[in-house]
């Protein structure tokens, strides 16, 4: 090709015509093509239009042939002579019906190449405009390219043998593990017994009223996974700085009174305890992002990049849902929340990592005699409850008492309010606010006194 010749987008019109012709001749070919191809995979505008008509006919369980397709395309007005000729010649363009999978793969390959070219051009344009930091452009690039690679994966119906083998392997791995868990241990043994640990592909909602210690609980779990289990933990904090998070980890790990530390009233033993706590923490695979404005797309891109660097990730913590936003226009906040939780659920499945998403509870529980939180107390609860695999509530009765009735108490509860594949119930814990730490004291299965 001459150096100055205009470059043409990758395409194979012959493969496109062969697939459309095969669909006109065979119902089996229709089903294969509809499963594996999308309208935008076709480069030719005419071929896209024909495939769209075939797609609509299939969706309505109507036959796909020359008559039905031409009628669907005409939309009440007769097709032009050229259109009629082109449609009638498609059936003659098929070398062999048995090769339809090969033709489809050619179309998909050319489509992916076009998407890569378009994405690269968009990324280059962002770079030339200089409207965004390079880090944001990198996140956008990795996210866009990953989506294209995911579209290329051929995930179809599989015989149950594969599902059984995967399930058996999970059980076998749990039996071999020191804790007998399918997922990663959290440092809360009774909770692990109920949940079998935090498992890959789970979206875990941790919810409570402000001041219940959600961040502290998440850090307690994250610290155990990183320090004891030696699995990387990724923490996104939209509310606290990395310095604040580091201090909380130090207080929790060392047992030093946080109030004394803030007031500068530490003893020599306290400093020794802090120094001792620093040793395992500073080498722990904990990665913190304290960007105050961040959405699911950026989070997913950063987690994906970290996973490429370190391999398996033990847990992703996001603190917290109500501070997140998206760049997608939504009619209302509930719709935006739905988009966020759905994106994170899909990401947990695609990346194979558990995601713990912290969330605020509404004031609804304060109006009830029984103050224990229920699923409907989740703000914008419909989508959160639907997308979550596990919902955990933190609850303290003394939180709801006023005046003289509000006597400080360390008694607290971890309530497993939802679990797709296991029991629900309540775990009694001790909350040490001065040390920003939760500790288990008892276990009570749901329904038992």
- Helix, strand counts (H, E) of the chain: 16, 10
Q: From the centroid of its chain, how far is CA 229?
A: 23
Pairing of strands 315-319, 286-289: unpaired
Q: In angstroms, rounded to a whole number, what is the distance separating the alpha carbons of residues 28 and 377?
A: 49
Identify the H or E element spanning 286: strand 286-289
Pairing of strands 355-360, 390-395: unpaired
Give ∠ CA 207-210-215 in degrees, rounded to 5. Answer: 60
Identify the H or E element spanning 117: helix 100-129
Q: In angstroms, rounded to a whole number, what is the distance separating the alpha carbons of residues 3 and 195?
A: 62
3-state DSSP call for residue 212? coil
Q: Is 243 part of the annotated catalytic residue set? A: no
Pairing of strands 203-208, 390-395: parallel
| Cβ contact 233:315 at 8 Å | yes
Q: From the centroid of its chain, how far is CA 344?
A: 3
Q: In angstroms, rounded to a whole number, what is the distance separating the alpha carbons of residues 225 and 358?
A: 17
Q: How far is CA 69 from CA 25, 27, 415, in A?
A: 12, 13, 57
Q: Count Cα atoms within 13 angstroms, Cβ side, for 267.
A: 6
Q: In angstroms, rounded to a whole number, what is the distance separating the alpha carbons of residues 448 and 424?
A: 11
Q: In angstroms, rounded to a whole number, what is the distance separating the alpha carbons of residues 155 and 35?
A: 10
Give ∠ CA 361-364-367 in degrees, rounded to 5. Answer: 140
The runs of H, that is alpha helices, within 231-332 are 242-254, 258-262, 268-282, 296-310
Pairing of strands 390-395, 411-419: antiparallel
List 239, 350, 385, 445, catalytic entry: 239
| Cβ contact 213:394 at 8 Å | yes
3-state DSSP call for residue 424? coil
Pairing of strands 355-360, 315-319: parallel
Give me 300's structure tokens: 């997913």
Phi, psi dihedral angles at 441 (to 5 degrees): -130, -20
Catalytic residues: 239
């Amino acid at each position: 090709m001459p150096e100055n010749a205009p470059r043409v987008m990758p395409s194979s019109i012959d493969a496109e015509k062969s697939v459309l012709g095969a669909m006109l001749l065979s119902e089996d070919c229709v089903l294969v093509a509809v499963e594996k191809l999308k309208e935008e995979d076709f480069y030719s505008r005419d071929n896209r239009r024909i495939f769209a008509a075939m797609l609509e006919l299939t969706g309505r369980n109507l036959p796909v042939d020359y008559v039905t397709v031409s009628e669907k395309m005409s939309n009440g007005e007769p097709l032009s002579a050229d259109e009629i000729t082109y449609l009638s010649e498609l059936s003659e363009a098929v070398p062999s019906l048995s090769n339809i999978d090969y033709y489809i793969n050619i179309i998909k390959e050319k489509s992916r190449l076009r998407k890569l070219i378009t994405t690269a051009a968009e990324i280059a344009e962002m770079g030339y405009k200089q409207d965004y930091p390079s880090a944001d452009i990198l996140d956008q690039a990795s996210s866009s390219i990953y989506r294209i690679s995911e579209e290329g994966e051929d995930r179809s119906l599989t015989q149950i043998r594969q599902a059984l083998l995967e399930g058996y392997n999970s059980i076998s791995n749990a039996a071999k593990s020191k804790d007998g868990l399918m997922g990663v241990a959290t440092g809360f043994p009774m909770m692990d017994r109920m949940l079998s640990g935090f498992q890959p592909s789970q979206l875990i909602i941790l919810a409570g009223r402000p001041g219940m210690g959600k961040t502290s609980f998440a850090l307690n779990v994250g610290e155990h996974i990183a320090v004891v289990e030696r699995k990387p933990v990724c923490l996104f904090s939209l509310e606290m700085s990395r310095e604040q998070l580091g201090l909380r980890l130090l207080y929790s790990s060392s047992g030093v009174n946080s109030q004394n530390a803030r007031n500068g009233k530490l003893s020599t033993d306290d400093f020794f305890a802090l120094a001792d706590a620093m040793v395992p923490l500073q080498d722990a695979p904990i990665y913190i992002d304290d960007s105050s404005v961040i959405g699911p797309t950026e989070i997913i891109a950063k987690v994906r990049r970290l996973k490429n660097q370190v391999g398996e990730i033990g847990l992703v913590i996001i603190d917290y849902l109500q501070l997140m936003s998206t760049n997608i226009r939504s009619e209302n906040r509930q719709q935006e929340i739905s988009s966020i939780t759905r994106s994170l659920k899909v990401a947990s499945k695609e990346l194979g990592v558990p995601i713990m998403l912290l969330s605020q509870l509404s004031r609804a529980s304060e109006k009830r005699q029984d103050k224990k939180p229920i699923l409907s107390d989740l703000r914008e609860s419909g989508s959160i409850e639907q997308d979550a695999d596990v919902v955990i509530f933190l609850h303290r009765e003394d939180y709801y008492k006023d005046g003289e009735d509000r006597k400080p108490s360390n008694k607290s509860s971890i309530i497993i309010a939802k679990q797709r594949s296991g029991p629900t119930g309540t775990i009694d814990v001790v909350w040490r606010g001065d040390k920003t730490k939760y500790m288990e004291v008892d276990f009570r299965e749901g329904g038992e006194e």
